[in-house]
Amino acid sequence: MGFPDWHPRAVRVHTTVTALNNRVYALDARTGRLIWRYERSLPEKIPLCCGRVNRGVAALGNKVFLATLDAHVLALDAKTGSIVWEVKAADYRKGETFTLAPLAVKDKIMVGVSGGDFGNRGFIDAYEAESGKLAWRFYTVPGPGEPGNETWERDSWKTGGGPAWLTGTYDPELNLIYWGTGNPGSALYGENRKGDNLYTNCVVALDVDTGKLKWYFQFTPHDVHDWDAIQIPMLLDLNFGGKPRKLLVEANRNGFFYVLDRANGQFLLAKQFAHLTWAKGINAGGRPILLPDTDPTPEGKYICPGAWGGTNWMSPSYSPQTGLFYVAAREQCDIFTSSDRPYEEGAGFFGSTANPPPKQKEKDWGALRAIDPLNGDIRWEFNLYSAPFGGVLSTAGGLVFGGDMEGYLIALNAQTGEHLWHFQTGSSIYAAPITYALDGKEYLAIPSGGAVLAFALPDDAIARKISSKE
């Protein structure tokens, strides 16, 4: 399955997984037996920044939904895998693709486009789940006459980027989705797009029914380090500052952990969670307090975190039992070297390069970190040999699971970070584990390499646990 940074999806008694080139597999969730398979016939040449990846499917009713590398959105029959409907959303020849898992909300299926590194204008779409009809589209880069367009120099908005390439989060009470947006174009050179470049590097709150913008918060204005803000927003209802608040918390790629009021976007807190050299903090209004001389230069500028960020697409987790937020943190810096490369349709629009220092001088590393969302303090960390790309799962049983680039699935005590056990999967882990229950039995599943591995307690262990409670 190549580069498995997707997450399995439990659908009734099926587990539905995806693989490279938009292959979808429905597996028996108890045994792993193949039930059906869908494989898309893709064009031979698709401009892609980061491989032929797919991060999963959505499920609603009797359908499974897939967004494809050739810029289509599909509904598949959950029982058979046959196509129910299919719509073309964008032009893959320009680098407009889909790599995310769709989000099913009410009667709609929502997707965000990839391809911002090709200078494409980002968007988030909502489709009617029954028919595939487009319900609304929100552009992440505003056009002339729209609020925010003044943050772009001249016509730079036309190649402004702002992809929405990771799945957002839904609040049914507020009827809002929260979606992260990526870097502007060009990704690593900002002289051709002076200004804050809204709504790139933001979380946007959109009305589910209309797609209208309710509020936004920009983490990294005028980003020149490729710090997409596509990290998955976590929604928490907590007492914050002495009163109940509806919170949105996020460990951002720029190295800061943020707390916002998700009802109105008010900035509440930011604190560093990974090593950084570009800012000395965040001011009271939520803007970074920049350190001098941190933009890329022709000679090369050493900046932390590197272009892969202090974290990335990896799913975080939160435990109501411990009150802690868990994130896979990356400790890797890059040398950013600038050059003004012109835009060309269908070609990478980076403008500069970002490369790590030689490994013999500086080795990347990482950690699973537990953060208190009420103050941003790091409660504990479990160090990893290499900077990770695998996500995190916390469970009601007081456990935290994560994976590393050395192929280990790791189980930790959620309260203390104590190592409990680990399993060598045989391949680097790029995804997050999931847990699900069938027939009174709990399973843990993780994709790794060309396989999905599932774990469960043996039946006699479950019986012993039940009898001990009686």
| For residues 276-291, average pLDDT | 98
Positions of CATH 2.40.10 in the chain: 394-469
CB atoms within 10 A of CB 383: 12
Tell me the C-alpha distance between 337 and 323, whole Å. Answer: 41
| Maximum distance among all Cα pairs of the chain, rounded to whole angstroms | 72
Q: What is the pLDDT of residues 200-254, one digit of tens each?
A: 999 999 999 999 999 999 999 999 999 999 999 999 999 999 999 999 999 999 9
Positions of CATH 2.140.10.10 in the chain: 102-389
C-alpha distances (whole Å) from 244 to each of 236, 241, 247, 318 are: 10, 8, 9, 18
Tell me the C-alpha distance between 295 and 305, whole Å. Answer: 13
Contact between 251 and 273 under an 8 Å Cβ cutoff? The reply is yes
Contact between 242 and 177 under an 8 Å Cβ cutoff? The reply is no
> What do you get for the CA distance between the two ends of the chain, in Å?
45
According to the CATH classification, is domain 1-99 in 2.40.128.630? Answer: yes
Contact between 382 and 198 under an 8 Å Cβ cutoff? The reply is no
Confidence band, pLDDT 50/70/90 cuts, at residue 467:
very low
pLDDT of residue 187: 87
Q: Which residues are catalytic?
A: 226
| pTM score above 0.85 | yes
Tell me the C-alpha distance between 247 and 263, whole Å. Answer: 8
**Residue in this structure with the two tokens 């220092």, named with its chain if needed:** 357
438/284: higher pLDDT: 284
Positions of CATH 2.40.128.630 in the chain: 1-99
Q: Which CATH topology does 394-469 take?
A: Thrombin, subunit H (2.40.10)
Confidence band, pLDDT 50/70/90 cuts, at residue 44:
confident
pLDDT of residue 465: 44
Sort 270 into a burial class: Cβ within 10 Å, 0-12 / 13-18 / 19+: buried
**Which CATH class name applies to 102-389?**
mainly beta
115/176: higher pLDDT: 176
Q: What is the pLDDT of residues 392-437, one digit of tens each?
A: 999 999 999 999 999 999 999 999 999 999 999 999 999 999 999 8
Collect all residues with Cβ–Cβ distance below 8 Å to 92 and sequence separation of at least 6.
Answer: 43, 46, 47, 69, 70, 71
Tell me the C-alpha distance between 408 and 426, whole Å. Answer: 8
Q: What is the pLDDT of residues 79-109, one digit of tens each?
A: 999 999 999 999 999 999 999 999 999 999 9
Closest CA to 156 of 343, 353, 350, 295: 343
Collect all residues with Cβ–Cβ distance below 8 Å to 5 and sequence separation of at least 6.
Answer: 53, 55, 313, 389, 430, 431
Confidence band, pLDDT 50/70/90 cuts, at residue 49:
confident
